[in-house]
Chain A
Amino acid sequence: EPEVTQTPSHQVTQMGQEVILRCVPISNHLYFYWYRQILGQKVEFLVSFYNNEISEKSEIFDDQFSVERPDGSNFTLKIRSTKLEDSAMYFCASSLQQGQETQYFGPGTRLLVL
């Protein structure tokens, strides 16, 4: 069964450094998402992406964040200058359509900012 994959599974970085989290969505899916979960808190929506454009972004998704689909298979989340509060589990998801369509989630990347 097709699945969403994410790399790396864990990343440790120093405050102020740039990180890129990578995702490979399911191949025929058209909508892509990033969510994050700070330890002990809710899973929070960050951004949705369709047709090479951001469809919607949350208040969390400020100028330090960017997303890109650099080729036909990868979907990346870049954090330009990491802060301590960016430490979280980051989940990528994809769906064939939006709305009632199921979003399929990857296993997540645990980011620790020191």
Chain B
Amino acid sequence: AQSVTQLGSHVSVSEGALVLLRCNYSSSVPPYLFWYVQYPNQGLQLLLKYTSAATLVKGINGFEAEFKKSETSFHLTKPSAHMSDAAEYFCAVSDRYNQGGKLIFGQGTELSVKP
């Protein structure tokens, strides 16, 4: 069965500092991997996804993530945090052979950005 673990339910960084949100997955088949962001009172918005092309994936708002098969990781990074990045971030995995297409989510990481 697939699963996702996000290390750190809360991460706090200063404005301008590096953002690193960790995600590890477990999957018996090559997965599709996603990062979603949720701003207060809004739905989940896709930041980026890995679908077996380039292992370094660039997304919106300056975020990127690297798929590392050997480490079963898909960590999200941004070189310089902005106040507007404060939100909850969810890592998710999908089984490419699954007919239903369901996403399995991690617990989420709340990112705070200090001025």
B108 contact from A4, A33, A42, A55, Cβ within 8 A: A42
Given contacts A42-B106, A102-B46, contact A33 B101 (CB under 8 A): yes
Closest chain A residue to B6, Cβ basis: A42
Contact yes or no, B49 A102, CB < 8 A: yes
Known: A33-B102, A91-B44. A42 touches B107 (CB 8 A): yes
Tell me the nearest residue of chain A to B95, going by C-beta: A99
From residue 39 to 85 of chain B, which have CB atoms closer than 8 A to chain A? Answer: 41-46, 49, 51
Assess whether B105 is interfacial by the CB under 8 Å rule. yes
In contact, B99 and A55 (Cβ under 8 angstroms): yes
A-B residue pair count with CB separations less than 8 angstroms: 69
Near B by CB (< 8 A), chain A positions 18-69 give: 31, 33, 35, 41-45, 48, 55-56, 58
- Interface size on B, as a range, is 20 to 34
**Is the CB–CB distance between A56 and B98 below 8 Å?**
yes
Q: Evaluate contact between A43 and B105: CB separation under 8 angstroms.
A: yes
Q: In this assembly, does B114 line the interface, its C-beta being within 8 Å of a C-beta of chain A? A: no
Assess the A4–B100 pair: CB atoms within 8 A.
Answer: no
Instruction: Check if A103 is an interface residue, CB within 8 A of chain B.
Output: yes
Given known A98-B99, A100-B49, contact A44–B105 (CB-CB < 8 A): yes
Q: How far is the CA of A93 from the CA of B92 in the complex (A)?
A: 14
The complex places the Cα of A54 from the Cα of B101 at a distance, in Å, of 12
Is A82 at the interface (CB under 8 A from chain B)? no
Whether B43 and A105, one on each chain, are in contact in the complex, defined by CB atoms closer than 8 angstroms, is: yes
Spell out A's residues near B (CB within 8 Å).
4, 31, 33, 35, 41-45, 48, 55-56, 58, 91, 93, 95, 98-108
